[in-house]
Amino acid sequence: GRVHGILGLRIADASVMPFCPRANTNIPTIMVAEKLADTTLRDGRRS
């Protein structure tokens, strides 16, 4: 998600997950990155 205090910087890693999955974090982290990429592209089109 967005980093407070630094305009335009976003983080897409496992630290944004509210809890740790029981298994490997690779696929959930990829899903977080894909969602953030979609959101970033959508936000860029609005401005």
Torsion sign over Cα 41, 12, 34, 21: negative
How many other CB atoms sit within 10 Å of the CB of residue 32?
19
Q: 1 and 36 in contact (C-beta within 8 Å)?
A: yes
pTM: 0.69
At 20 the pLDDT is: 83
Tokens linked to 28: 């959930």
Tens of pLDDT along the chain (47 residues) come to: 788 899 888 888 888 888 888 888 899 899 999 999 998 899 877 76
